[in-house]
Amino acid sequence: MAKSETARRPRAPKKTTPASASSRTASAKTEPPYHHGALREALLEAAERVLERDGLAGLTLRAVAREAGVSHAAPTHHFGDLTGLVSELAAIGFRQFNAAMVSACDAAATPLARALARPKAYVAYAQAHPGMYGLMFRTERLDYSRPSLHEAAEASFAGLANAIGMMRQEQISEDALTLNQGAAIARAWSMVHGFTMLLLDGRLEDILGRLPEGTTPERLFETMLMAPIAGKLPA
C-alpha cells in the first residue's frame, strides 16, 4: 500500500507523431496507442497481468490504468466501473477455463482417464491461474447480468453437467433434472470446487503434511476422487 501515486506514466509529451498509424481496426502493439486503439483489450490484458502479479487485492481500476499507461479514469468509459472490468475479466477466465477443459477431455483415451481428466484439469487451471480462479469464484464483485460473463459461466456449467451425463450414460435434459442427476452434478462440482478452494487457501497443508512423505496434492485429489466411483465405470 505504499505505491506512490505520482508515478509518471510514460506518454508522448503532448502530441504523438501525426504519422502514427492508430486506426481503430488495426492493433498497433508496437507503440502505445495515444488516443484511439484497442484500449479495451489492452486494459483487460493489463488487468490480467496485475491480477496474477499482485493478487485480487491489487486489482484496482487505477492500478490497471497505470499498467496500461493511461489515465486512471480511462477504464470508466469502457467498463463503467470496477465491477464491469472485473466481470469482463472473469468472463475471459471462464473462457480460458472452458478451453482448458475441452482440450483436457479430448486428450483422454481410456474411460478412467476420461473420468479423471476434467477434475484434474480443473485443479490444474486453478493452480496455474490462482488470481483468475479467485476472481471467478471468490470475489463478490461480479455482475452475472452481463451477457459475456453469463454466457461463459453458463457454458462452464453445461460442460460439467454434460460430463456427468456421459459418466452416468444418461442424456442430461436442458430444462429438467432428476434428483439423482442433480445430486451427481452438485457432488462433482462441490468436491472439485471445494478441494480447489481449500488447496489454494493452503488449508490442506495440514493434511498433506501428515500424509506419507512426498504425497502431492494431485495424488491426494486423485485418491479422493477414485473411491466413490470405483467399480462404477463402464468397462
* Site for a copy of itself contains 128 (CB under 8 A): no
One of 47, 70, 132, 192 touching a copy of itself (CB under 8 A): 192
* Site for DNA contains 31 (CB under 7 A): no
Decide whether 23 or 157 has the Cβ nearer to a copy of itself. 157
One of 103, 201, 218, 233 touching a copy of itself (CB under 8 A): 201
* Site for DNA contains 139 (CB under 7 A): no
> What whole-number distance in Å separates Cα of residue 226 and Cα of residue 201?
23
Q: What does 184 interact with, of a copy of itself, DNA, none (CB < 5 to 8 A by kind)?
A: a copy of itself
Q: Rounded to the nearest whole angstrom, what is the least distance from the CB of residue 133 to DNA in the complex?
A: 20
- The residue with cell 439423482 is 180
Beta carbons within 8 Å of 150's beta carbon, 6+ residues apart: 144
- Its sign, for the CA torsion 140, 143, 148, 152, is positive
One of 3, 228, 233, 234 touching a copy of itself (CB under 8 A): 228
Grid cell of 214 as nine digits:
512426498
> What whole-number distance in Å separates Cα of residue 49 and Cα of residue 64?
9
Distances in whole angstroms, Cα of residue 63 to Cα of each of 151, 174, 196, 229: 28, 42, 28, 46
* Site for DNA contains 50 (CB under 7 A): no
Beta carbons within 8 Å of 11's beta carbon, 6+ residues apart: 32, 34, 69
Distances in whole angstroms, Cα of residue 89 to Cα of each of 29, 79, 125, 142, 152: 20, 10, 16, 10, 11
* Site for a copy of itself contains 14 (CB under 8 A): no
Decide whether 78 or 168 has the Cβ nearer to DNA. 78
Where along the sequence are the contacts to a copy of itself (CB under 8 A)?
A: 55-57, 134, 137-138, 140-141, 157, 173, 175-180, 182-187, 189-195, 197-198, 201, 203-204, 206-208, 210-212, 215, 219-221, 223-224, 227-228
Where along the sequence are the contacts to DNA (CB under 7 A)?
A: 1-6, 11, 14-16, 18, 22-24, 33-37, 39-40, 60-63, 65, 70-74, 76-78, 81-83
